[in-house]
Structure 1
Amino acid sequence: MAEQNQTKPKFRTSIGGQALIEGILMRGPEKQAIVVRSKEGLVEKVEELKLIRDRYPILGLPVLRGAVTFVDSMVRGVKALMYSADFFPEEEGEPSKLDLWLEKKLGSEKLQKLVVALAVVLSLGLTIGLFMILPTFLAGLLGRFIPNVVVHNLVESVIKLLIFFGYLLLCSKQKDIQRVFQYHGAEHKTIFCYEAGLPLTVENCRIQPRHHPRCGTSFLFVVVVVSILVSSVVFSFVDWRNVWVRIGLHLLLLVPVVGVTYEFNRYVGGHDNPVTNALAKPGLWLQNFTTNEPDDSMLEVAIRAMELVIPEQKGKDEW
């Protein structure tokens, strides 16, 4: 009987991360870890993960879970950024009377929660305003020169993509952000090393690619593309010249768009074939703007963060 050649499928982990100020957040199936390189050395913070969908199973249903995961990741990401920033305070004067009054009335813990909530709301508002409302408004200004809904959708889509690419390009040129993008590259290299089954050493991580198919940059790009596709269909049945109708529909479609994007990324990230590889390429290319080659000290931070979240039960973090 002829021996059959079997190829062992490549392991894909659900562990993901986020670059911080001189640090990295890694999130596994059971806990998350923040590791920051402070002036005194590596500082570690590990927390058990308590997901809202564990208490409310309905929030774990396909599509709906995408929007829930997105907001949850944003909240945790803002908290982690604030935590890392505390190790590198800027020189400031005395706190303002408003700061003192808020801390007195709310206490430091409640004040921190308020700051996090405001930061999340502002981040969401900026994202929605920049990538959804602004393109719709600009396309609306050209409405009288546009003959039909197909051309209008095309113009709005082009504006949306130009704003998205311009935003990434502008961020990549900021000196303060470039080090954060180096940590982003370290995060990707460490995850690749772990998925390859290699020992987590600086040498093994250094040779890994810095572009990872399950990256937040790819996710945001797909959100923009899915938004374009969905709105192009929906706006064919409404008053496409009314800018306020278009903006309102964009907001109503936000949750399903994010949910569909999440499911799409889960599928693409969990399969390796010519179709999924082709679908992943635009997002990988965009990571040229959001990742830089890290130095060894950054890889050490990423490795330690990864080690802290790898589950004891082997394979529990499989994608």
Structure 2
Amino acid sequence: MADTTTTQGGRRAAAAKPPYVQCIGAATLDTVLRVPAIPPHGKVLADACAVFGAGMASAAAASIARLGGRAGIWARIGDDEAGGRWRADLAGEGVDVSAVRVVPGRRTAISTIVVDAAGERLIVPFYDPELSRDPSWLPLASLAGAGAVLVDTRWPEGAAAALDAARAAGVPAILDADTADPDVLRDLAARADHVVCSEPGLALLEPSGDLAALADRLPAARVLAVTLGADGVRWIADRVSGVLPGFPVVAVDTLSAGDVFHGAYALAVAEGRGIPDAMRFAAAAAAIKVTRFGGRLGAPTRDEVDALLTGDAG
């Protein structure tokens, strides 16, 4: 049965489905430990712990679902306990995991993250070097029906294939341009039409940090942006510059803030929002996330983001 809503005159009409965002990239089982301070050596006792399925693109997909959008993840996992937990966690958030590739005999990526009292973190991931990198199984034709495609840098072959297919289909192709091999980062950035960088990612693409200089080297990119943590976000969209200061919040855990930002931004683009509005929506979602311990588990709902934005506007 189709979803329905009641119009002002009392008639029943079909409700539009939320836009669908296809995410491609990392799948990790994260263990997050909170400590008073990260020591240079020795032992320290944690006072909180969370274990959950994550990964850059996966956390973004879960954030999209929390925000009321529809999201799927294309990723590779092993046929191990960690992979089973990751898959159950993402499905539990409402993310479509039906096209995830399970590779027999291989290990799912894992990551241990230590978060201190100021919200900063130390991340130690492990990716199975024998996990197949072949993207030929990806159902790329299905991207034509997506509202946006979001990729990270952790599976370059899959990301490149998805970005190319999205652009060929006229679907917004968004790159989470974080720390990666510089050659990989440059190759993926040249394939995307939205390149949203972390500060380390921007430094690898353009050491000067000048978005205008990067725009000259990436003429196919419609939008270039860099997230600045507490200082907000800067961008160039269709050669017009914009800046948004950070929301005044107290950071508890910055883990996954970038993933939440990218997921919220991709959803806003899929909804047809203008770039300044999409940046503000994404920044608000990330600001709420950093006030909560637990990585992507702190991702907000749509109502929470709207409440922050309404209060900010007021």
TM-score, normalised to structure 1, is: 0.24
| Higher RCO structure, 1 or 2 (CA under 8 Å, sep 6+) | 1
Question: Bigger radius of gyration, 1 or 2?
Answer: 1
> Which of the two has greater helix per residue?
1
